Amino acid sequence: MTTAAIIGGGVIGGGWAARFLLNGWDVRVFDPDPEAERKIGEVLDNARRSLPGLSDVPLPPEGKLSFHTDMAEAVQGAAWIQESVPERLDLKLKVYKGLQEACDPGAVIGSSTSGFKPSELQEGALRPEQIVVTHPFNPVYLLPLIELVPTDKNSPEMVERAKEMLSSVGFFPLHVKKEIDAHIADRFLEAVWREALWLVKDGIATTEEIDEAIRMGFGIRWAQMGLFETYRVAGGEAGMRHFMAQFGPALKWPWTKLMDVPEFTDELVDMIADQSDAQSGRYSIRELERIRDNNLVGMMRALKHQDWGAGAVLNQHDKRIKAGAMPSHIDEIEDLSQPILTLSRAVPLDWTDYNGHMTESKYLEAFANSTDRFMELIGCDADYIANGGSYFTAETHIRHLDETHAGARIEVRTQMLLGQGKKLHLFHSMYEGDKLLATGESFLLHVSLETRRPCAPSAEIEAAMAKIAQAQAKLPYPEGAGSSIRKPA
C-alpha cells in the first residue's frame, strides 16, 4: 500500500488526506492542533459522500488513516509528503528541515503554498531536489487542478514521477514551467479579488451582487472552457483574431483598478464581513460545503458526459481504476456459480430526488448499466456491437424494497435466468452491504443492427451463456422474478 504523509491538517491538508485516502493510499497526518482529528473527520465525511459519486467504477478500497504527534514518525516510508502549514516562509523552511532529516530521500515533498516560489522553499534545504510546489484548489478532494511548479534543481524524472502520482489519484497536474509568485491561477483570482474590493468599497455592488455576476454568467463559461477558448468562441466565425481586434482597444480604457488597491481599513473589512453575513450567514460552514459539493459534482458529472474539461480528467481516472477493479470477460471470474457482480459504485449526489433518496429513473439506470456490463462479460462488447450485433431490452420490471441515499456504496449482482438463442433473461439484485435495496428483471432479445430484427448471437456468446447457465443451474429461482404489479385487494 502506498503511503502519503500530510503535514498540516487544516482545510487544505484535510482535503489532501481525503483525496489520497479515498483513492486507496494509507495516510498519516501530523498536526499539533488537538482538534485536527475532529476537523479532518468532518472533511472526510463530506468527501466520502461526494467524491466516490464522481466515478462510475468502484474506487479502490479506502486506505488506513492514522494521526501522529511526531512529524518524523509520520513521514517515514511515505512516498508523497504534502506540506500544508500556514503561509509563513520561515515556518515552511523549518518544517522541511525536520521532515527531510527523517523522510525517504526518494519521496516527493509537495507544498500547497498559494504564493511562494519553489526556489524560495528549496533555499537551504538538505535535498532541494525533493521539494516542489503542488498547489491545489479547495475542495482538494473534488477539484482536479494541481499547479505543479518545479525548478531546475528538480530532475525531469522526478517531475514526471510527481505527475504520475498526482494523476493516479485523479488530479490534473498543470506543469508550470517557469516559477512566478502566486503561480498561474491565483494571479487571476487576485486580479478579480482586487476589482471586487473596489466595487464594494465604492458602493457599486454588494458581495452578493458580485457573486451573482460571476455564477450567473462568465463563471459557468469559464468552468467548461476557460478564458481564451471562451473568447475565441465570442469572436464568431472569424475566431480569436476578430475578438482581439474588436475588444483589444478596451484594454486602454479605465475599466479596472487592477494595480490600485483600496486601503485595507477596519471599515472596509467590516463592510465586506457584514455584507457576507447577510448574504450567507443563514448557512453553517458545513452546510455551505455540502451545497458547494452538490453543485460541483453535478457540473463535473455533466462534463463527463461530454468528455470535456474536468469531465475528461474524471473519465481518464475511471478508465485507470476500472482496469484493475472488474473483469472484462466471464473467463476472468473465478466463481460463476453465484450471481455475478455487474455494478459497484457510490450513489452520486445528482441521483437523489426531493425525498432525499435515489430517484426512480436512477434505479433503472443502475440496472441498465448492470445489463450492459453483463453483455460485455459474455462478449457483446463495443467491438461486437460495432460489427452489427447487440441486445435490445423488451421488458423490465423493478421492485423498490428499501431507500438508497447519496454516498451509499451499492453493488448489483446478476443471475441469468435464461440465456439461449436470441433470448436473454436477467435478474439483478441491488445491495448496500447485506441490505437488499431493489431488484430489476430484464428480458432482452439479440438483434441484428442492420435489419433491426431478432437473430441468434455469435457462437462465442452462445458458449459464454451456456457456461453461465451450467454454473448457475443450482441457484434457486429468485424471489420476485416473474412478478408483476399486484391488483389492489
Residue 272, C-alpha cell as written in the block:
465586506
Annotation-wise, does 12 bind a ligand?
yes
Collapsed DSSP state (helix, strand, coil) of residue 380: coil
User: Residue 325: CB partners within 8 Å, gap ≥ 6?
Assistant: 57, 58, 60, 344
CA-based max dimension of the chain: 83
Cell of 206: 454588494
How far apart are the C-alpha atoms of 283 and 473, rounded to whole Å?
A: 56
Query: Residue 397 — φ and ψ, nearest 5°?
Result: -135, 125
Whether 56 and 318 have beta carbons less than 8 Å apart is answered as yes
Q: H or E stretch including 99?
A: helix 89-100
- Pull the grid cell for residue 455: 437473430
Q: DSSP assignment, residue 234?
A: H
The enclosing H or E element of 292 equals helix 285-306
Cell triple for 329: 470477460
The grid coordinates listed for 155 are 530532475
The answer to whether 95 is annotated as binding is: no
For 441, the enclosing helix (H) or strand (E) is strand 435-448
269 vs 318: CA distance, rounded Å: 44
Q: How far apart are alpha carbons 395 and 399 in whole angstroms? A: 14
Q: Is 9 annotated as a binding residue?
A: yes
Non-local CB neighbours of 488 within 8 Å, separated by 6+ positions? none
How far is residue 438's CA from residue 350's CA, in Å, rounded to a whole number? 19
Residues contributing to the annotated binding site for NAD(+): 8-13
Binding residues: 8-13
